[in-house]
């Protein structure tokens, strides 16, 4: 009997990209590499899961994460990482 689980790529440990703060709020972005399935940007708000988006390449994910943090900075959030 074949096990489909053997074919799955194990995700890497998440890599913290940045955090921004505004008053008592914090938003953090992490990069999760998913092997042959690309990668994912995961956003956490106040340490709880907020949102995620999958990308085909790390470069596209990092470009998107940078656009997101710049938008928050334009709204008065301060980057802390």
Going by the DSSP 8-state scheme, the letter that residue 38 receives in this structure is -
Query: What is the pLDDT of the chain when averaged over all its residues?
Result: 88
- Tell me the domain boundaries of the chain: 17-79
- Segment 10-42, tens digit of pLDDT: 567 899 999 999 999 999 999 999 888 899 999
Q: Which of 15, 9, 11 is nearest to 65 (CA)?
A: 15
Q: Which of 52, 78, 80 is nearest to 65 (CA)?
A: 52
Confirm if 38 and 56 have CB atoms less than 8 A apart: yes
pLDDT for res 36: 84
User: In Å, what is the CA distance from 48 to each residue of 5, 42, 51, 79?
Assistant: 28, 11, 10, 18
pLDDT for res 12: 73
Q: What is the pTM of this model?
A: 0.80
- Segment 47-79, tens digit of pLDDT: 899 999 999 999 999 999 999 999 999 999 999
């Amino acid at each position: 009997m074949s096990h489909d689980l053997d074919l799955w790529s194990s995700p890497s440990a998440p890599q913290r990209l940045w955090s921004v703060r505004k008053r008592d709020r914090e938003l953090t972005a992490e990069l999760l590499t998913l092997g042959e399935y690309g990668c994912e940007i995961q956003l956490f708000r106040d340490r709880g899961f907020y949102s995620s988006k999958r990308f085909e390449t790390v470069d596209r994910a990092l470009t998107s994460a940078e656009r997101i943090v710049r938008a928050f900075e334009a709204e008065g959030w301060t980057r802390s990482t």
